[in-house]
Each structure stands twice: as structure tokens, then as C-alpha cells.
Structure 1
Amino acid sequence: MASPRQPLYDRLPEIYRIKDAEQFPAGQLAAFLGILDELPAGMRDNIEALYNDQFVETCADWVVPYIADLLGTSHLSGEPWTLRADVARTVFHRRRKGTLGAIESLVFTLSGWAAQAVELRDRMVWTQHLNHQRPDAGGIPPLTLRRSLGSAVRGGTVALRDPAALAFLGGPFDTFAHVADFRPGQIGVPRYNLPNLGIFLWRLEDYTVPVADPGLIAAQAVAGVGPGEAAAVVRCIVHPQADPMVLFNTHRYRMADTPPNLSHPDQVPGPMPWPRLTSAAEHGNPAAYVAVAPYAAGTLPDAPGAAANGLTLHVIDTVVPPEPAELPPAERWTFRGANLCAWEDGLSPPLAEYEIAIDPDRGRVLFGLSTLATEAQPLADGLFISHTYGFSGPTGAHPVPRPPVTPTASIDRTMGVNALEGALTNIHQATAPTIIEIQDSATYTLDLAAVAGTENVGGVLSLRLAQPLTLRAATGQRPVIRLERPLRLRPHDLTNVAAVDALTVTLEGLYITWDRSAADFAAISTPLVARAAVNRLRLDGTTLDPGGSWQLDETRLPSRPGLALTGDYDFAAADFDAFTQVPEIVLHRSVTGAVLAEESAYSLDVTDSIIDAGSGVGDAAPELAIGSLSDPADGYGPALRLSGLTCFGTARVASVTGAGGIWLHPLRAHDTQQGCLRFSALSGSDDRLPPHHGCIFGPGLDVSFTDDRFGLAGYAQLRQRSDPRLLEQGPGRDEMGAFGYLRTTHKWKNINIRFREYMPVGIRPIRIPVT
């Protein structure tokens, strides 16, 4: 192991460093030796770089094509990670050229997506000769033609009594026979024919929120139960706001296997099929999707590991099913996949004791227990859930790795739901920048009325700040902050010009929503952030819940503004004159509701983000997504700079410049002589634009999202059937919108290029996105 590097100054005897610190000004010797140290340090770094550049795993990005030349590999463009992986596995792929394992490995290497290659000819029905019958299950006909989910069905009829098998019908793990389809191959549609190879792809990433607080937990006794039926139940809704959500499974693959094991029916990053969650079903396999993890009373559960299932139920260890006694307590529960839309009316058949019913399509869990006081209520009081959901990429709040920092304060659920309020107490007295890091994925309440040191003007509360403030999630966590009243920020001392100039507030990795029973949020026009009288407000990987979530009756809740900021910053006249800043609102890979602010009072900088006012494709009367708070109809919002934006709603801005935007509805700039819009998609209806280049216009522009409703897995994800210009004429010749940085189009093209090199002669690949 190499010894740690030491600058020249650190190699001096301690006496010289002490005397150097006593000089005025201090550190003169350190500065001088630092200059002398730059040259050998540069030489050392260059020598180390030369060594690292010999290996594709550690070389600089610009070296990858040169290593590819040594292997005779054609050059690709796109995401650096995929290009590096493609070169690194060149020899592996050449050795396995023409095999299904090589095709799956190519797709994963070039995209990072789970993949399953299927020879569609093996799923075609056949007619058996009467003298040479070959029923798949063997034996003398008539017998069942399938005894396991993995066995093929080449004849016979579909087994309608097997929901677990039917859940895979038409997908990558379909085991039923199909008639021949002679139509040309089409993206997204399997064509069952002799030369066709179906390549099924899971494009959404799976994100697991560890040890989270469910949005609803309730224990209740059940009357009139029969033998073996649950006398008490615990109802649980997984989503932190008790909205419906789709539960995903985690992607558990083994890339090092030969051939690589990249996809398994029960280990792919897609929605859980509810029939597979039933213990008693012939082909049920709940152990691959859900686990019960007991933990000791008085402690907190451990987060699930990297190879965990999509859903982990953390239950207190005092609630233990008695049977079967030979199994560990965590394995004694039974499971059922069910529709829990109307769980108040009970299930048919009724829920049994120590049975857990799961509705993965709605994110609901129902526990059956024997008693209310000794089992149901303790389980409800101590229940935590680690759940998995799907999303296109790290835009918004997700449990992802984050750069390490040294926080000035850390909080977790052991400090209570009001821990954030305590951490912000008297924040106006801070003498240095404050970094508050939340160490878990719990739900915290934030009521400015409970934070000591806040400003109170006529009952309107604002958080006073003397130093920059950062609220962030720890790496791998997604905490939820539930506001009791809108968040308002202002400087503590307007006379300290230097402090006000440096005053920034950063929200990183947080899911910020509101208490739906709070009086301050009774009006749907009330925003989550109502005052930002600071030099800069930065949202980095943060979600300001825009509302509009779907409900069980397929309706949508009303949308709520993310920011609604007044032109006078809510200052009295004297303070308004002293506040000389023009606050900058920065959205970086974030999701928010409408941004309403005044033209000359703010600026707006958006990167790879979504602004959602609740208006989808084709809405005839769209809501205002970016504009003026005081005059929504005729006024204009702040000057907009963008690099990747999907905007659901109308935008009226002072000026606009940047690239990679998708506007489904009119975009109107007040100053058309300033700025330039490039490589963006516009509605073409009532637009008012600055000079523009490489833009495409509607009406008639086919913009198709997997879903345009917040909270669903395919939210704001462009379909492959969208207008090709939308997918290929964005910045960097990739797709437009908030997810352009994922370089999805380049991934598709790189996959096609490699298919032409590695696909066996006569085989036609058909790409079929599953998510």
C-alpha cells in the first residue's frame, strides 16, 4: 500500500511550523513551500495518470477510444460509463458472439438496463404428429402440459386458473404458445416468428427507500370472524402521503456468471405481479418479492442489503406467528396478492391469522392478526417499510449516493418527528454556514411556529438566516419533510451587506410535501415555498410535491404551486430598500409545481428538471407553470435559463435562453431581443420567442410520455413512439426534456450498432421496452 502523500511543508520539523504560525501575517513559509511543491506534485500526478491510463477501468475518458483501437473495436458516442464498459467487455463478447448471453450482456453494458433475450420461435404453437406426441410434461396424454413456470407450452390451451402464469402473458417470461405473426418487426411489439429475437428491456431504475415511515397505519378489530380468520387487522399505505403507488422489485443480477445472469422472472426492476405474491398458489413465489424482518423492541431496524427484495416489512419481534414452529419466525407468515382498493369491505376469502395481503398496484399492505391489543396495535406502532419504486433517473428526490460533507448537525428518527424544528432553532444566531444532514428516510414535520427565532409579522412566519444554510439527505436516504405552513426565508440582518450577499439556501435530496389537514394549506393556491428573500435558493435533487397525484378512482388531486414569490419579498418599505439582491432560483435535477415570481425581482435557472402545473398533453386550458404571481394573465415571470426542462403548463417569462426544453403549451417571452432558444420542442400555438435554432414546433408534434401524472413510475418519460425529432434533435443529438442527460437515444443507437456486429445471420432483433 502506498504511503499517504505529504506536502513539503508538512515534512518540516514542528518548530518551524509553530514559528511560521506566529509570524504576521501567518503562513508565509507555508505559502512559499506550497509554490515550490506545485512542480513535483504536478509531475507525480502526471506519472500516476500515465499508469492509470494503461487500464480501461481507471483511464481518463479521452483514452477509452485509443484502447478501443488496440482491440479493433468501433467507436461509439454517448454516456462515458457505457462506452468504458463496452470496451472493457469486448473480449468477453467476442468469445460469446452469437449467443443469447452475449446479446443480453451487450444491452446491459451499453445502457445499464436489465435485458432478457428470447428466441420468439420457441414460443410459437405447433401441431404434433399423432404418431410422435411430445407433451412437455411427459407421459401418456392427456396430461397437463406444464408443471413449472419455466417450462414451455407448445400446444394445448391457456390455463386460465393459474393467475401467476397469466401475469407474465405477453411479456419476457411468457410461457404460452402463440400463432405466427408475419408482420414486420416493430419497437415495443413482440412478433412471434421463426427469425425474430425479442430483446425485452427494463429502462426504469429501481430505487429502494430504506426503513421509511408509511403514510397510513391503522389497527382495527374485526367482528364476526370464523375459525382461523384474523380477528384484528393492520392497514398500511406505503406512500408517505397515503397516495396510490406502484411497488417495484429490485434488480438482482449476476454479471460475472457465464453466461451473465441479468434477468430472472422474479428479480427484474419492474412492477410486482400480484399473483406471484400468493403463498398458496401453484406458481406463487412471494419470497422473491417480499420479506418480513423482525427487530427487537427498543431498537431500530437495519436497512436491507444490496441483494434485498423489493419490499421489506420491518415488524417488532414480539409479534410472532406460532406455526409452523420448525421455521424461523420471519418465515412463518403467509402472503397473498390481492386487490385492496376497497379493503374496508374485507377480502374474499377472509384474511387469515398471520397472513399478509399485498396490493402492489396501489401500494397497500394488510396484516391479519389474532388480537388487537397484544398483536395488531404493537405491530402498527412499530411498523417500518423499506419499499422500492421505479423512475427514469435521478431527477427529483431519490435515495442515491451523494458527495460526502461534514455536517454541523445531524438528525434522525430517534430525535422525534420534530427533530428538524429543533435543528433550526435560533438559526439566525449561527456564526458559520450551517449544514443539517438527515441520516434516515423518516418523515419529519416542519412548522415554523415551533422554530424559535423565526420572524412573526402579522401571523406570517419566516425563517431568519444569518449564514448560508444547507438541508440535505444522507447518501442512500430519501427523507420526507411535511410542512405545516409554507416555507419562508429571509435575512436576519439586512444591514450586514456582506452576509446578505453570501446568503444561500440549498435543499438537497429532500421530498418536501405538505400536511393535507393543515389549515394553512386549505387553499390549493398556497405554495410550498412562499418567500425566498435570499441571494440564492438552490434545489438539488429535490422534490417540491406538485400535487396532481392519481387516486383510486382514476381522478387526480389538484396541483399546487412549488414557489409563489412576491415582488417586494414581503418586506416593509424600509427593509425593501435595504434588500438589494435579485434572488436566483436554481433547480438542478428537481421536480416542482408551478414557479410563480415577478419579472424583475427574480431569476430562474433550470437544469434537467420538471416543472408541473398539472396540465398534460392536449389540455385545452393549460395552467400557468412559470409566470407572474401578481398578474398571471398578462404579467411575466423571471428571466429563464435552462438546460433540460420538461414543462407541463404555460410559461410566461421575462426572457429565455438555453437548450433542451419541452413545452407542451405556449411559451411567451416578454423580451424577444435577449437570449436564444436552441434544440427545444414548442407547442407552436401562441408562442412568443427570442431568436431560436434547431427547434421543432407543433401543432401536430407527437409528444408521448409513458405517463404525465406525478407519482407514477413512467412520469415524464418519453416513449419511443414520440416524434423522432424529439428523440434525436436535442442537445448532443439526444432527446429533449428533463431526462436528456441520460443519453437514452445514444444508448438505443449504440445497441443497434453492436447488434449489427454480434447478431447471428438471419436473426431479426426486436427491441421491446417493458418499462
Structure 2
Amino acid sequence: MNNSPDHLYELLPTIYRVRDAEQGYPLRDLLRVIAEQVDVVEADVTQLYENWFIETCQDWVVPYIGELIGYQSVHSAGQLGNPTTAEGQQRNKILIKRREVANTIRYRRRKGTLALLELLAYKVAGWQARVVEFYKLLSRTQHINHLHSPSRTTVDLRKLAALSMLDSPFNELLAHTVDVHRIASHYGLGSHNIPSIGIFVWRLKAYSATRTPAFCLEEVSSNCYTFSITGNDTSLYTRPEPEEDATQIARELNLPIPIQRRVLQSHISDYYNSNPNLEKLTKSLEIWKGVGSQLQLVSPDKIIVADLSDWNYQPPSDHIAVDPELGRMVFPLRQLPKNGVWVSYHYGFSADIGGGEYNRLLLNSPEHLLLDADDIKELASLVSQLQDFSTLSQFLRSQFSQPTRELLDAYTSSYSPERPLLTALIKELNQLLLGKSLYEEQRFASIRLTEKTNKLLQQNLQGKELIRLNRLLLEDAFPHAIGKHYAHYKVSQTSFEYYQTITEAILQWQREKPRDAVIEITDSGVYVERINIELEKNQSLQLRAANRKRPVIRILDWRTAFGDALNVTVKPGSCFILDGLLITGRGVHVEGDQSEGYLTTGVQKPASVLIRHSTLVPGWSLHCDCEPRRSTEPSLELFNINACIAIEHSIIGSIQVNQDEVETDPLPIHISDSIVDATTIEGEAIGAVGYSIAHARLTIVRCTVFGQIQVHAIDLAENSIFNGRIFVARRQQGCIRFCYVTPNSHTPRRFHCQPDLVEQSVAQEAEQQEEQNRVRPQFNSTRYGTPTYCQLAQTCAEEIKRGADDESEMGVFHNLYQPLREANLRIRLDEYIPAGMEVGILYAT
């Protein structure tokens, strides 16, 4: 397809184009309109050809190609979604995977092999797995005519490695007696039997933390450190490596599993990186010590694997004691790391939620390229420069209309009215921005252009890019009069090309005052600073981490008589975004500017606050056992603001709203795909001071909440788990659907919620109480910092695990579609297992 709008016009003979130019190009304009439709037809023809192949076809074509080769979708996993909606497309990608359709014939040729079953678990469900044939682990008597290698029926207590593998997917030595229960039973799972094949799947993923400072646990001793920057114990996970051979069964190094002490001690070279020149984390673990201004990698022969449960072990000189199961380190008391300790490691978690080094889509900051009144910083300075006799000023005045030139000539800073001239200049300059390029070498000979402007001048720009270039040229020509429309500040503790602290970047941002700005942290360091941000009207600022980075902002108790939160002040039309950060030590305080009557709603454009892919540690910080240190303190405080609050893919502590109920409307809060954790179900997850009703309207979808919610109204709650009572002031407004709602809650009308449905199915009060207890959500962990945080337990009721509107699980991990993946995988396994065998899915994590 030709991207030029005049490709049809250029096919005409030159004589017709010359005559068309003499008449003002009417033929060219007509052919441009025709060319648009030609491009649509050409693109459709191209797409039709691409739809012949599974690799390039559109998503709606995948089921049709699957039908041609006999691929059957899994109806037991649920009905297909609507392909015209984003949610339906995401659901269909789980139920009908493009790569599974593409590999159907290849899979059938490998039917019955164990490696194929592992591959299916990954390709169909996205889970890494290990297959175990249980008949090989059965104890059996010898037949005199059919001798075979004896199976071990006794335990050798001297083999500690084998003992640690008992009842694990890696047990290969100790035999078991026959278990007659079926391995695929829905009631009592069996295991060791002749036809049984077990697929152990790991649902948790290993997430990296690269070159981040370790936490010195001074309350224990100055030589005791934790890998986690929040000070809690965390198991170090294996960075899974792909199998060298496609027929190889997965081993410990190929799976995201916690590293055991004995494994690290005997195979440290497989887990610990010994090459200091590698910039990327290629193995599971690294420890760095600060030596002067440089980092020195600790040699693996200096590491002693030890049990540091009680912190009593003292390593010898020049060595470090490491406990991978707890994520702890101990240095010799006489050799303390005075210049700090940095670590690279992997931890386990369920999904891409909260601050982490995973791939996430960065938001593009809005660029207001056209001028308005807020962009003119000093009108007198602009007029003064336009009135001089420079080449650029003379050119600009020549492009202005006669009334504008008269206002410009009559202007004096002492008594002339500024509003008419300001309005006229903005209109004239915007017309120039939308026109041709303003640049000519003679016009800008005496003007110093920035590096960014010079790079754009070297390109052939059109459309929006040309408008951006013209705006930059005006900003360079009138630096004191026209404000910047966009600025990007980079922060890094490891690069001298960028700002070393967030405060330095904020100070530069305050000096330049750009309309839109991004402060991006490009490493995974820890920034211990006091951060205060004040936004002007219609100004936006992103404070974000670079993609695949997880910087930490640690806020300390700096001042005795004042609060020490991360403070943000917003004004009408402003926008503040937190993206990809982990904030510990204190919370985030957002308030409106009351000096300008900000509490009056009027016609002023509300501000917006967005928190996405971030973690505001519940309880501010953690003890070693992941218990919160300040369980009653809020992680987010909202104080008298006229704004829209949005929280996406984040982990956050309690939210406290302090609004003037007389002067303001209820504050809209939108939360999606997030965890709101008050650390106890009796605590206040969303509310106001003193457990009162927050003056807020809540919209919450696909979330898990621990604690009470007390708000003015709930407009919509969907596919969520509320593990705490709900108190809503206006019950006539809004709806709660497909959620678990704690009994005795005061809510708006509910639709298909639990335990309402199970209570309606029984009549006796005692049976209703039993049903309430049965469907109560059960979690593997409710403490932030543990790998299985907010993960539904296997014993959780099916009404919760498949209780969402699309038969996925309720809560924050709804979009993982784990029930659908399991149903999909079970059906696929039945197609490819050896004849006469029975396969069962066993969750290792």
C-alpha cells in the first residue's frame, strides 16, 4: 500500500497536472478522496491474503483454520467471548490459542511422549510443568522369570538430598505403595498407581530484581541483611532456563521454584553468576559489595549457604552467609560492608501487578502542541521580541493580520490591555504552527537551537511531527516568553548523564515549568528522598519507572512535627501519574490547592490522579515475617480535591478520603485489577478518618479487598472479592454483580453475588450458615511480601474460583483465566496421553 496521498495523482500525465495547478488543484483534491477508498480496498485485499495463514491471520479467522485441520475448541472451559470487544478477544485467546492451532499436526505426531505433555501445559495453559510417571515409583515384588531393578522401599537417612525430595515432583529414589484412588478424581486425588501420570504445574512466575540495594536489618544487627528492600523474608526463586533438548523432562533449573539450601550449596555455579562483566542477570542470583564508588561482585567461593532462621550464624572472615529459603545474608562483624550491598535475585508472584521488572506499556504523555494562555509566560517579553528588527520577528509580523499588527504596535506594558493582544497573538501563532515549517537558516541564524530541534530538522516531517517542530522552534526563539510544551527528565544513580536524584529532576521541572513532563527512573535503585510536587493548572507530570525496572522510593520520618508522606498538590485540569514504582516507609498524600477556591466545583475542569503498576506497601513497611509495621496507617490520603482518582494493576494499602461534604461532590474513585489491603478484615480499606463514611463514589472491577469499605456510593462493583464488610450511604444508586460480599454488608442492589446465591438454594438457617462458611474465599496467603499473596487456595469453593461473569475466578487474578486454562489443559491432555493411562494436574505452587 502506498502511503502517499497523491499516488494516484502522480500517475497522471504531466500536462494534466500542469493544467490542474493553474486552476488551484481541484483534480488533485478529488483524487486524494478517491485514493483513500482505494487504500481501504487494497488493505482489505492484503489482509485477505494474510488470513490464509495461521501466523498472520486475524484473531477471528483462527477458529476457522482450526476447523479445517480438525481442531476442537474446549467447550467445558466456557463459551467463546465476543470478538468485537477487548475482553472477548482476550478470553478467546485463552480458549483458542493461535499457537496451539498452528502446532496441532505436530503435536499429534508426538502423541504419547512425556515431553509433549510438558509442552502442552506451557502452550495451552501457559504453565511450566514437569511430568511424572508414578508407576516407576511403585514398590513391587520380584518375579523370578522377569527380573528388574529393585525399587527402594527403605529410607537411607544418610542421603539428605533424597529425603528433601520426598513427595515432591523430583522424587526418583523412594518407592511407594499403590494408591487406588484415581488421579483425575474430583473428590480425592490419588497418585501412585500403574496408569497414573502426574503433571506438576507451577502457576507462580519468577520476577527479577536487578542491582537493587539490600535492606540492613539494624533492629537485629548491623551485619544482617535481607534481599527484599522492604525488610521481609522472601524465598529466592530459580530463573528458569529452557531445556537443551526438546525431548528432555524439566529439571529444577528449568522451573520457577524456590531455591533450597542444599541445592544452592551443591550446585552454586548453576545459580550464582560469577562473571562481573555481564550487565544483565543471566542466572538466579548475584551479590555486589560497594568498594569506593564501584560495585564488586562477590565471588561464589566466598558464599556459605547456611540456615539463618535465628540470625545466630557468624561466617568466617572474607565470607558471606546466605540463606536462599529466607532471603537473608550475614556478613562478618569485623568486615561490615560500609559502602552498601546490592543484590540481583528472583522472587515469586502470580501476575504482573504492582511495582516490578516486567514488561508493561508506558503511557504517552499528552502533548499540547497548540498555544493557549497558560503557555505565554511573559507577554511583555514576547511583544518586545516581536517588535525588534530581527529576521524572525519581521517574518512573524508579516504573517500576522492587520488588526493584530496594530495591537502589537500600540502595546505598552504600562497601560495597554493585555487580553485582546494575547488572544490575537495566540490565534496567529497557532495558524503558523499548523502551516509550513517555520525554519529557514537565515531566520534562525542568531538563535541557539536545542539538540532535539536539530534532530527534527534533519527529517522530512509532516502532520503532527511538523507541528511539534514548529512549536520547538518558537520555544527556542522565545525561551523566556513561551513555555515548554513537553520535557523528559531521566534519573539514575548509575549514570552521570542523568539526574542523580528525583529531587534534582523535580527542581529542574519547577524551573522550566513545561506543560507536560515525564520524570523517568531508569534503574532499580532505592531513592530515599522527601518528594513534594505542586502542579499548576492544566499541567501534567508522570513520575514513572522505565520499562522492566522497579525503582523504590523509601520515605523516612524526616521531620518530627510534620508528616513525611510523598506530597502532591493538584490544581484544576492538572494530571499526576505514578507508574511502576514501589513506595515504602510512608504513604502518598494528594491534596487540592485551596488558595484558589479549589473546593468549588463550578465549571473548572477536574484534576486527575492515576496510580498504575505500582505498590504502596500496605502498612508502610514489613517485619521479617511479612507482618505490617504500621497496620492502621493509610497508604493513600486524598484531602479536599476536585479530581478523578484511578488505580490500575496496583497493590495498595488503605485509602483515606477527607472531603468537604458541603462544598464538593463525592470524589470519583476507579479501581481495577488491583489489591486494596487494610492488613485486617476489620480495618478500613476505603473510608474517612475515624471509620466514618468517605465522601466518594466507587467503581471497582476485578479487585481483591481486605478490610471494610465505607463510601457514599458504589456505582459499579464487578468480579471482585470484598473480604470485609461494606457500608454504603446511598444504597439506591449503583450495582454489585458477580462478587463475593461479606455477610451483613449494606450495599446497593446485588446480582449473582455470593453468598446470596447459595443462601437462596437452602431454606434452613443452619444450612444457610454452613453455605456461607463454605463459599467464604480462602487464600494461600493474605500477607503482602509472600509469593502466594492473594492467590485463591485449592480448597476454595468453585463458586468463587469460577464465579465471575465469564466463569473465571473472582478477584484480582481474574484476567489470568486459570479455571479456563485448567479445563482447556485437561481436555487437551486426554487427546495426547498414552493409551490406557490417566493424567492428573497437580499444583506445585
Instruction: State TM-score, norm by structure 1.
Output: 0.76
Task: Give the aligned residue type for 2:100.
Answer: D
Tell me the residue number matched to 2:463. none
Q: 1:490 to 1:94 in 2, by over 3 A?
A: same
1:307-322 pair list within 5 angstroms? 308-314=282-288
Aligned with 1:398 (options 356, 362, 374) = 356
How far the C-alpha of 1:38 sits from its partner, in A, is 3.4
Of Structure 1 and Structure 2, which has the larger fraction of its residues in helix? Answer: 2
Indicate conservation of the 8 Å contact 2:702/2:814, yes or no. yes
Cα shift readout 1:298-354 (whole Å, capped 9, x = no counterpart): xxx7122xxx2221224579999xxxxxxxx986615443221333x325xxx3555
Task: Give the whole-Å Cα distance in 2 for the aligned partners of 1:29 and 1:720.
Answer: 70
Residue 246 of structure 2 corresponds to 258
CA distance in 1, matches of 2:361, 2:824: 30
CA contact 1:292–1:314 (8 Å) conserved in 2: no
What are the residue-to-residue correspondences of 1:463-482 with 2, within 5 Å?
467-482=539-554
CA contact (8 A) 1:587 1:605 kept: yes
The 8 Å contact of residues 237 and 363 in structure 1, kept in 2 or not, is answered as yes
1:341 to 309, 325, 346: 309
Q: 2:267 aligns with which of 272, 285, 303?
A: 285
Work out the CA distance in 2 between the residues paired with 1:40 and 1:94.
Answer: 44
Please tell me whether residue 565 in structure 1 is matched to residue 638 in structure 2.
Answer: yes
Offset at residue 111 of structure 1 (A): 1.5
- Largest Rg, 1 or 2: 2
- Following the alignment from structure 1 to structure 2, what is the Cα–Cα distance between the partners of residues 664 and 638? 20
Structure 2 equivalent of residue 642 of structure 1: 700
- Identify the range of structure 1 (401-410 vs 667-676) with the bigger mean alpha-carbon deviation: 401-410
Task: Tell me the residue number matched to 1:92.
Answer: 106
Aligned pairs for 1:662-677 within 5 A: 662-677=721-736
Structure 2 vs 1, CA of residues 330 and 44 (structure 1 numbering), >3 Å: closer, same or farther?
farther
Match of 1:361, SS state, is: coil
C-alpha spacing 1:44/1:482, structure 2 compared with 1 (3 Å): farther
Pair 1:610 & 2:577 matched: no
What is the alpha-carbon distance in structure 1 between the residues aligned to residue 567 and residue 537 of structure 2?
11
- Shift of the 674–85 alpha-carbon distance from structure 1 to 2, 3 Å rule, reads same
Q: What SS is found at the alignment partner of 1:389?
A: strand
CA distance in 2 between counterparts of 1:466 and 1:641 reads 25
**CA deviations over 1:556-581 (Å, ceiling 9, x no partner):** 53323121223x34xxxxxxxxxxxx
Cα distance, 1:9 vs structure 2: 9.5
Distance in 2, Cα, partners of 1:650 & 1:738: 17
- 1:537 is aligned to 609
Q: How much does 1:399 deviate?
A: 0.9
The whole-number CA distance in structure 2 between the counterparts of 1:434 and 1:408 is 6
Mapping 1:194-205, distance limit 5 Å: 194-205=194-205
1:737-748 matches, within 5 Å, as 737-748=811-822
Selected match of 1:435 from 513, 518, 521: 518
CA gap of 1:262–1:509, structure 2 versus 1, over 3 A, is farther
C-alpha displacement of 1:360: 1.7
1:423 counterpart residue number = 505
SS of residue matched to 1:732: coil
**Corresponding residue for residue 719 of structure 2:** 660
CA contact (8 A) 1:427 1:466 kept: no
Moved more, 649-658 or 201-210: 649-658
Counterpart position of 1:243: 232
Say if 1:341 and 1:552, in contact at 8 Å, map to a contact too. Answer: no
Cα contact 2:236–2:259 (8 A) shared by 1 = yes
Query: Are the aligned partners of 1:430 and 1:466 in contact in 2 as well (CA < 8 Å)?
Result: no
Match of 1:64 among 62, 65, 68: 62
- Give the deviation of 1:625 after TM superposition: 0.6
The CA RMSD over aligned residues, in Å, is 3.6
Q: Does residue 327 of structure 2 align to residue 360 of structure 1?
A: no
Structure 1 counterpart of 2:501, which letter?
A
Residue 710 (str. 1) matches residue 787 (str. 2) = no
| CA distance, structure 2, for counterparts of residue 10 and residue 489 of structure 1 | 54
For the structure 1 residues 29 and 477, does the alpha-carbon distance in structure 2 shift closer, same or farther, using more than 3 Å as the test? Answer: farther
* Distance in 1 separating the partners of 2:245 and 2:67: 27
- Between the aligned partners of 1:159 and 1:399, the Cα distance in structure 2 is 43
Question: 1:162 corresponds to which letter in structure 2?
Answer: K
Q: 1:215 to 1:165 in 2, by over 3 A?
A: same
In the alignment, structure 1 segments of 5+ residues that lack a partner are 13-27, 137-153, 222-232, 279-283, 296-300, 321-328, 455-461, 495-499, 515-520, 522-526, 570-581, 617-621
Q: From 628, 639, 643, give the equivalent of 1:583.
A: 643
1:275 aligns with 2:262: yes
1:486 and 2:565 are equivalent in the alignment: yes
- Are positions 1:165 and 2:178 aligned together? no
CA distance in 1, matches of 2:649, 2:124: 23
Question: The residue matched to 1:652 in structure 2 has which SS?
Answer: strand
Deviation at 1:356, TM superposition (A): 4.1
1:65 and 1:603 map into 2 onto residues whose CA distance is 41
Q: What CA distance in whole angstroms lies between the structure 2 residues aligned with 1:235 and 1:444?
A: 21
Supply the distance in 1 between the matched residues of 2:194 and 2:32 (Cα, whole angstroms).
70
CA contact (8 A) 2:198 2:841 kept: yes
Counterpart of 2:152 in structure 1: which amino acid?
G
- The equivalent residue for 1:108 is 122
Corresponding letter in the other structure for 1:592: I
Q: State the identity %.
A: 27
Matches of 1:666 and 1:441, distance apart in 2: 38
Residues 257 and 80 of structure 1: is their aligned pair in 2 closer, same or farther, counting only changes over 3 Å? farther
Report what 1:53 is aligned to. 51
Could you tell which deviates more after superposition, 556-565 or 351-360? 351-360
* Matched residue, 1:410: 490
Q: Distance in 2 between matches of 1:548 and 1:172?
A: 38
Of 808, 815, 831 in structure 2, the residue corresponding to residue 757 of structure 1 is: 831
Partner SS state of residue 692, structure 1: strand
Q: Is the 8 A contact 1:594 1:626 kept in 2?
A: yes
**Contact between 2:739 and 2:752, CA under 8 Å: does it hold in 1?**
yes
Aligned: 1:387 with 2:461: no
Q: Aligned partners of 2:536, 2:191: CA distance in 1, in Å? A: 63
Contact 1:583 1:601 in 2 (8 A): no
Cα distance between partner residues in 2 of 1:330 and 1:214: 14
Give distance in 1, aligned partners of 2:153 and 2:231. Answer: 44
Counterpart of 2:93 in structure 1 is: 80
Tell me the CA shift for residue 550 of structure 1.
5.9
* AA partner of residue 738 (structure 2): F
Contact persistence 2:289–2:339 (CA under 8 A): no
Q: Aligned equivalents of 2:488 and 2:537: distance in 1?
A: 15
User: Residues 41 and 490 (structure 1 numbering): CA distance in 2 closer, same or farther, change over 3 Å?
Assistant: farther
1:293–1:315 CA contact under 8 A, matched in 2: no
Q: What letter is aligned with 1:160?
A: L
Q: Distance in 1 between matches of 2:214 and 2:39?
A: 52
Task: Identify if the C-alpha distance between structure 1 residues 441 and 318 changes in structure 2 by more than 3 Å, giving closer, same or farther.
Answer: closer
CA distance in 2, matches of 1:408, 1:10: 41
Where structure 2 has 5 or more consecutive residues not aligned to the other structure, the ranges are: 11-25, 75-79, 81-90, 366-486, 557-563, 594-605, 756-771
Residue 701 (structure 1) aligns with: 775
Give the SS at the match of 2:674.
strand
For 1:59-86, what per-residue CA distance to the aligned partner results, in whole angstroms no more than 9, with x for missing partners?
A: 2221111111111100245461671222
Distance 1:679 1:313, change over 3 A: same
**Are positions 1:504 and 2:468 aligned together?**
no
* TM-score, length of structure 2 as denominator length: 0.70
Change (3 A) 1:170 1:418: same
> Equivalents in 2 of 1:54, 1:257: separation in Å?
32
